[in-house]
Structure 1
Amino acid sequence: MGKKVLVIEDDQELGTQIVKRLRDAGYEPTWWKEGRRLSRETLPDVELVVLDLMLPGTYGMDLLKDLRVFSEVPVLVLSARNDTADKVRALRLGADDYMTKPFWPEELVERVRARLRRPTLGRGEVVEVGALRIDRGRREVSVRGGRVEVTRLEFELLAALAERPGEAMTRSSLAERVLDPERDGTERTLDVHVSRLRKKLGCGAFVETVWGIGYRLGDGRDE
């Protein structure tokens, strides 16, 4: 039995393509053609949600906010809007990925497959990589038992990297996840935040540079 995916998309043609591609790839899609306010009782038993933002009934961002009150199910957002502010807002509200229309349905299937390969981290989960400990529930960071004071942005950066320990994340994807362009600057400032975070974490390469790509969370051994 394939993994269950909820598709929320009002476009008949696109929705039909997505559902067919997911079914052909071995998934079990459920298709909603309008937005609905979500609660623990109304969310189907699924392992991933594909969510269009412009929906009749309920705006996708509101639906995403509802969902994150009670569930950490991964969400892949679809939108015709390519505005950075929209991407940042969706990611800050808890989206795991963001695809801009138009796109190839094959790419969506691959992103679904990639997302479902990763472990889903709950809000209260503690992630330990080497001597580094990240408590997502308490929003605390410690190294070798000693607490490290980090800013909101620095914590969000570590939390994003902790979703995929040892795997490289691009600078652009990290910037979209953690930077508010109106308050925190743009992708160009990400390196500055990383440099400050490294100094706070002390000796050891916890935030490793992957040249030509971005950064990854390491185990603290020297680069």
Structure 2
Amino acid sequence: MGDRILLVEDDEPLGSQILGHLRGAGFDAVWWREGRLLVAGELPDVSLVVLDLMLPGTYGLDMLKALRAFSEVPVLILSARNDTLDKVRALKLGADDYMTKPFWPEELIERVRARLRRPTLQKEPSVVEVGPLRIDLQGHAVQVRGRPVELTRVEFGLLAALARRPQEAVTRQWLVDHVLDPEREGTERTLDVHVSRLRRKLGPAKCVETVWGVGYRLVPGEDA
């Protein structure tokens, strides 16, 4: 048998068909019929998870969020929900791919194979230090030269997104799509307001740099 796949799908006929296609393609497939809020140690040793959203027990996105707290296993969402906001939420929470039902079984198998060919991302460091900044990504805490700085959820999300790619320009549109709430504040103008507030809170640490015509990047900075 090949790579082991976890299928989480409550629809019996569909789940049975997917299981058959996965096994027919040479995968070792395991089938769960309900969602579960997993903690470290409860996930089987699998190479990929195929996850439905509308599940009994635990909603699919809640399961994904819990899973991402301790595992970087690739997750392919398989759902009848075709709303753009559902796709955005799933990708923000750490999904690697999103397929809508109905689908061709051949496409599902090829997407699984494509995802398994890509190297699994290394788990990100819990703390990132850039110049005078110390950013605790897991603890959601920021310090400037040892001084705690209180940030809003969006401000921290913005700083964390830049910290994961230090000294690399991140486009304004990417930050809008991945940091801001698409239902309430998903515009570049709103993003610029958050950046301005973030800079004021960081004080003399001039670490958030504008890349004209592109977006922003995090640099070591310097004291004013």
For residues 195 and 169 of structure 1, do their structure 2 counterparts lie closer, same or farther at Cα, with a shift above 3 Å needed? same
Instruction: Please list the CA deviations of residues 39-82 of structure 1 after superposition, one character each: whole Å capped at 9, or x if unmatched.
Output: 345411346544332457754124224435x6243554524534
Distance of 1:47 and 1:221 partners within structure 2: 44
In structure 1, C-alpha distance between the alignment counterparts of 2:199 and 2:45, rounded to whole Å: 40
TM-score (norm 2): 0.64
Q: Which amino acid aligns with 1:128?
A: E
Indicate yes or no: 2:142 matched with 1:141. Answer: yes
> Is 1:121–2:124 an aligned residue pair?
yes
| Secondary structure of residue in 2 paired with 1:194 | helix
Identity between Structure 1 and Structure 2 (%):
50
Residues 118-169 of structure 1 deviation map (CA, whole Å, 9 limit, x = unaligned): 33237xx212123321113432112233333321111012223333434554
Q: Does 1:154 align with 2:151?
A: no
- Counterpart CA distance in 2 for 1:221 and 1:140 is 21
> Against the structure 1 CA distance between its residues 53 and 182, is the aligned structure 2 distance closer, same or farther, given a 3 Å change threshold?
same
Kept in 1: contact 2:74–2:115 (CA 8 A): no
Which residue does the alignment assign to 1:206?
208
- Whether 1:39 aligns to 2:42 is no
Code of the aligned partner of 1:64: L
- Report which of the two structures shows the higher radius of gyration computed on alpha carbons: 2
Quick check: 2:47–2:116 contact (8 Å CA) kept in 1? Answer: no
**CA deviation vs aligned residue, 1:80-131 (integer Å, no higher than 9, x gap):** 5343432454356x32545354796667766666672x33237xx2121233
Instruction: From the superposition, tell whether residues 3 and 77 of structure 1 become closer, same or farther in structure 2 (CA, over 3 Å).
Output: closer
1:127–1:134 CA contact under 8 A, matched in 2: yes
Cα gap change, 1:140 to 1:33, in 2 (>3 Å): closer
Partner of 1:99: 98
Q: 3-state DSSP class of the match of 1:81?
A: coil
Query: Structure 2 CA distance, aligned partners of 1:121 and 1:90?
Result: 19
Q: How far, CA to CA, are the matches of 1:218 and 1:7 in structure 2?
A: 42
- Aligned residues between the structures: 208
Distance 2:162 2:116 in 1: 19
- CA distance, structure 2, for counterparts of residue 167 and residue 17 of structure 1: 39
Task: Judge conservation of contact 1:156–1:178 (CA < 8 Å) in 2.
Answer: yes
RMSD after superposition: 4.3
| Cα distance between partner residues in 2 of 1:177 and 1:96 | 13
The amino acid across from 2:31 in the alignment is W
Paired letter, 1:132? L
The question of whether the paired residues in 2 share the 8 Å contact of 1:205 and 1:221 is answered with yes
Distance, in Å, in 2 between the alignment partners of 1:140 and 1:180 is 21
Counterpart position of 1:176: 177
The aligned residue for residue 61 of structure 2 is 61
Q: Is the 8 Å Cα contact of residues 131 and 207 (structure 2) preserved in structure 1?
A: no
Q: Greater CA deviation, 97-106 or 192-201?
A: 97-106
Q: Output the TM-score relative to the length of structure 1.
A: 0.64
Contact 1:168–1:216, Cα closer than 8 Å, also in 2: yes
